[in-house]
Structure 1
């Protein structure tokens, strides 16, 4: 139990630290950040439940006002921005990513890459695009075009998440809770 709480807190902190990487603002109002890599890692390393809990802890702290989102954003106001779909999608993406890693018994590298791609790119962007369309008054196809530039970076992050997960599994197999 204590080990789980420690990992959940550690990965919530990881997501926050990844927000310190300078964001790149796009016309959509949704920045390109490294935080989605943290969301992917929550799932690939911690598994579905613990990964989602780490993200929910991060979001609770953010919505309470701590400036943990990229660019130093925080508070309830972030729910009234074009990023709302991505924020809502964070714990869902971590859960889906973790569920895939837990369910698919194949070598960790391809499983983690596929899981991070499905959860961290497909699921997260589907929810994010819906939120962006709603907040910007765009159609879903228009919002999808606005989100297209994120897909390249998210693909790279999915591969990085797979590589990091594999490295953790090789160095500290007991730390790979998604496979425990």
Structure 2
């Protein structure tokens, strides 16, 4: 129990630290950040339940006003901007990523992590993000989806990084990979 709490807090802190990597804001108003990599790692390393809890802990701190989102944003007001869908989708992205890694035990860790990060960290997260952007920007779903296409290459790179980091952990410290325990 104590180990789980520690790892959940550690991964919430990891997401916050990845927010310090300078963001690049595209014309859509949505910033390219490293924080979605942290969300993917929550799922690939901690698994579905613990990964989602780490993201929820991070979001609770954000909603309480701590400036932990990329660009120093925090507070409940983050739900008023075009990134609201992504913020709401973070725990679901970690959950789905973790479920894939947990359930697909016949695949190597790197493959399950890569596919899990694509399904959770891109498909699920973009689903929430597209809906949020459409609502906040007054766009149709296809218009909002089109605004996100420049992010795909970077997010695919993040999925590869998540898979490599998870594979490295599995080789060096297999006991820390809770998604496979």
- Paired positions, count: 180
1:21 aligns with 2:29: no
Residue 140 (structure 1) aligns with: 141
Which whole-Å CA distance do the structure 2 matches of 1:77 and 1:107 have between them?
41
Which whole-Å CA distance do the structure 2 matches of 1:39 and 1:150 have between them?
16
Q: Tell me the TM-score normalised to structure 2 length.
A: 0.99
Compute the displacement of 1:29 (Å): 1.1
Residue 163 (structure 1) aligns with: 164
Q: Tell me the TM-score normalised to structure 1 length.
A: 0.99
Q: Secondary structure at the match of 1:138?
A: coil
Moved more, 56-65 or 142-151: 142-151
Q: Which runs of 5+ in 2 are unaligned?
A: none
Any residues of structure 2 matched to 1:167-178 within 5 Å, and which?
A: 167-178=168-179
Q: Which runs of 5+ in 1 are unaligned?
A: none
Residue 150 (structure 2) aligns with: 149
Which whole-Å CA distance do the structure 1 matches of 2:151 and 2:130 have between them?
11
1:81 aligns with 2:81: yes
What whole-Å deviation, never above 9, does each CA across 1:105-144 have from its counterpart, x for those lacking one?
1210111000001100111011101001100000111101
Which whole-Å CA distance do the structure 1 matches of 2:140 and 2:26 have between them?
18
Residue 116 (structure 2) aligns with: 115
Which whole-Å CA distance do the structure 2 matches of 1:46 and 1:117 have between them?
17
